[in-house]
Amino acid sequence: TKKAFIFDLDGVIVDTAKYHFLAWQKIAQELNINFTLEDNELLKGVSRVRSLDIILELGKVEASQEDKNRWLIQKNEEYLTYLVDMDQSEILAGVLPVLQFLKDKKQPIALGSASKNARPILEKTGIIHYFDAIVDGNDVTNAKPDPEVFLIAAQALGIKPEDAIVFEDSVAGVQAANIAKMISIGIGEEKTLHEAKYIFEDFTHIELAFIEKLINK
Ligand code: G16
Ligand code: MG
């Protein structure tokens, strides 16, 4: 049977979390807010607007909407400088064989990301042609853990939520998949992603036989 395979972007397909971190850190420094790699975990899968609010809360800084808008633009401009040189080498290990396997098996593939920069990243890494639907931060109003992004993706592929499989690296994303009644696959650490139905350290640990089983379920 046809299943919908929905991929998160950041932390699943590419490791852009490090670039988001560097860009946010620059803003935080200007505001004299101590912002660590550990704090950065809170921003995974979270929208740009919400990310800024979290950082301001960490630093107990109150700001006008005008200031916030300026920092949001500044952050994205800084982030975009890291994307300029992006190429296929930034695709995380093990991802391409799974995408290719799904294509060969004629399984519908979608992107379900909170990022507004998803399309250029898929283009630069040369994998945009694998995706039958792309749903990103430009298409949704409710951020993960709200299931909106994944529900729109499954609908775009013409597949029922129960027949959708979601690959996610963030807690909010795993929760969104579960709320949507989809099969959640956590990519990362067991202790963070224990709510996921299956958990793998990364894509090199996912065997194609496992994907095959999901297809035939
Ligand atoms: C990604 C990241 C988040 C980031 C968000 C918005 O989501 O995980 O840290 O804040 O996109 O990104 P942008 O500023 O590019 O719109 P995902 O859902 O792909 O993991
Ligand atoms: Mg992610």
Q: How far is the CA of 4 from the centre of ligand 1 (A)?
A: 22
Per-residue pLDDT at 27: 97
The verdict on ipTM greater than 0.85 is yes
Contacts of 94 (CB under 8 A, 6+ apart): 202, 203, 204, 205, 206
pLDDT of 127 strictly over 90: yes
Percentage of the chain exceeding pLDDT 90: 95
114-126 tens-digit pLDDT: 999 999 999 999 9
Amino acid at 216: N
pLDDT of 74 strictly over 90: yes
Q: Which residues surround ligand 2, an ion (CB under 5 A)?
A: 8, 10-11, 45, 169-170
136 catalytic residue (yes or no): no
Per-residue pLDDT at 85: 93
Q: Which of 73, 115, 192 maximizes ligand 1 atoms within 8 Å of its Cβ, making it the mutation to test the pocket?
A: 115
Residue 48, annotated ligand binder? yes
Q: Which of 10, 39, 136, 163 is catalytic?
A: 10
Cis, peptide link before residue 97, omega less than 30° from 0: no
Per-residue pLDDT at 158: 98
12-66 tens-digit pLDDT: 999 999 999 999 999 999 999 999 999 998 899 899 999 999 999 999 999 999 9
Phi first, then psi: give them for residue 185, nearest 5 degrees. Answer: -120, 115
Per-residue pLDDT at 70: 98
161-213 tens-digit pLDDT: 999 999 999 999 999 999 999 999 999 999 999 999 999 999 999 999 999 99
Per-residue pLDDT at 1: 83
Contacts of 99 (CB under 8 A, 6+ apart): 109, 127, 130
Per-residue pLDDT at 41: 86
45-55 tens-digit pLDDT: 899 999 999 99
Rounded Cα–Cα distance for residues 43 and 144 (Å): 11
